[in-house]
Structure 1
Amino acid sequence: MLRPSSFRLLRSLLVLFILAQPLAALAARTVLIFGDSLSAGYGIRQEDAWPSLLAKRLQERHPDYNVVNASISGETSSGGRSRLPAALERHNPSVVVIALGSNDGLRGLPIATLRENLLAMIDAAQKTKARVLLVGQRLPPNYGRYAEEFAQTFADIARQRRLASVDFLLEGIATRRDLFQADALHPTAEAQPILMESVWKRLEPLLK
């Protein structure tokens, strides 16, 4: 027979256990960002990069989510494809933001390879039940028809797979030289809030 004091202690422990369960579940929700230097914060402080700003936004509005930024400067879609399975296993994300392809385009790599790699990453993420946000990329006009096919690849994949998507990560800043670093390729710290807002508009509906 339990003493009243022992019963009260067990009841208190049970209540604490029940209350702790939602917190544990909430802490497990992760937004995994898989990109290149445009998402890795190249040339600026990490805390100023758009994924860090996104993490702050989530703390304010969706504290049940955190951000893991697995972006690497110089990454291609092939490199991302090879790295993604391990990242999915390690972080078990609820949402995967795929923001790769720029380096494929700048190097003139085959469009078919880009498409194949993007589809493989989408499939890998969806097999883990993660929701996917595809972030489109574009190239300067001097790339000609290749630039058109490159941009269209992201739009086609998003439509065919019925994915949430961002048309162009650099929308709103691409023509503003003052928002790019000296290399004219990487956005400045001042541009990062614009990038974050572009992603946020498409990301928030996925935060279930």
Structure 2
Amino acid sequence: MNVFVFHLVSGDAFLTGNAMLVAALLGIASGRMVVQRLASLCGIFGLLLMVMTAVPGNGLYYFAGAGLGISWMIWRFHFRSSRRFGTIFIVVVIAFVSLSLANELSGRRRPDFDEPAPRTLVIFADSLTAGISENEAITWPNLLSRKHSIRVIDYSRMGATVGSELKRLDELALVDGVILIELGGNDVLGATSVPDFERSLNEFLSQVTASHQTVVMFELPVPPTFNRFGSVQRRLARRYSVQLIPKRELAKILASPENTLDTIHLSQPGHEQMARSVWDQISFAFQPVP
């Protein structure tokens, strides 16, 4: 994963886009023609970055962003002499930046746990966790079990989707502890539609949270134009009080060439970094060692 792709899928480009919008406003306020023209370009590119980064948001948010870009061009080329129009536009931009930052930063918080759970971790995951058959790496669930004295029940398997694991739920034991979900990558990269993904994830979370266990889910670092998958994740996580591990954590691991075999499946160093990252995110969910 190259630097630019990581910047997009991690959500960092969204923050860059917001910074470019603010810089554009400052440039326009300078009153210098050359600076104002550069600022206009900066603002347009900032909006493009914000859209490309696929930050979870509803259609109204992206419609507002598109409207902002069109308004920007209208102002610069037709109403730039109107101070009233300019003032209104700047206020709208500041409000848009503030709301968009609040939305994104709220999704970057690490999981917060109210009560410590028994030292058992139940994992539902795909081949990112299970590994691939020809790779003999010690997977990160095994590393967690060895290093941190917790019981790990690993239900990960190659090719798993949210829908396929939903069908298996009745056959699997959900013991007291923490449930960790690392699913959805095959849905995004495969043929699963957003409505089907939402239906499956809604039912899956409904069942695993029914016994009031602590549930944690990896947020998907989705590529551009796939933001609806991320929106579904965040919305359902709020509905069922599921803690999200920020997508930047997974993107950061996949970004390093030495951590993957094929940009998706983890190598041994990748499993080791994944184990460290997961423990850093969920360690406070468990009761201390007796």
Larger Rg: 2
Q: Does 1:95 align with 2:178?
A: yes
Q: Report if aligned partners of 2:209, 2:240 keep a CA contact under 8 Å in 1.
A: no
**Secondary structure of 2:164's match?**
helix
Question: What whole-Å deviation, never above 9, does each CA across 1:75-98 have from its counterpart, x for those lacking one?
Answer: 11111111123213xx52422111
1:51-200 pair list within 5 angstroms: 51-59=141-149, 65-88=150-173, 91-139=174-222, 141=223, 144-145=224-225, 147-168=226-247, 170-181=250-261, 183-200=262-279
More strand by share: 1
Q: Aligned partners of 2:239 and 2:164: how far apart in 1? A: 24
Q: Which of 117, 135, 158 does residue 44 from structure 1 map onto?
A: 135
Contact 2:119/2:286, CA 8 A, preserved across alignment: no
Q: Per the alignment, in what secondary structure is the counterpart of residue 173 of structure 1?
A: helix
Using the TM superposition, give the Cα deviation of residue 179 of structure 1 relative to its aligned residue in structure 2, in angstroms: 2.2
Structure 1, unmatched stretches of 5+, are 1-27, 60-64
Cα distance, 1:30 vs structure 2: 2.6
* Letter aligned with residue 45 of structure 1: E
**Normalised by the size of structure 1, how large is the TM-score?**
0.71
Cα distance in 1 for residues equivalent to 2:236 and 2:274: 21
Q: Which has the higher contact order (CA 8 A, sep 6+)?
A: 2
Identity %: 23
SS of the residue corresponding to residue 174 of structure 1 reads helix
Gaps in structure 2 of 5+ consecutive residues? 1-117
What is the root-mean-square deviation of aligned Cα atoms in Å? Answer: 2.1
Number of residue pairs matched by the alignment: 168
SS at match of 1:71: coil
Q: Which residue of 1 aligns with 2:92?
A: none
Q: Is the 8 A contact 1:164 1:202 kept in 2?
A: no
Instruction: Give the match's secondary structure for 2:263.
Output: coil
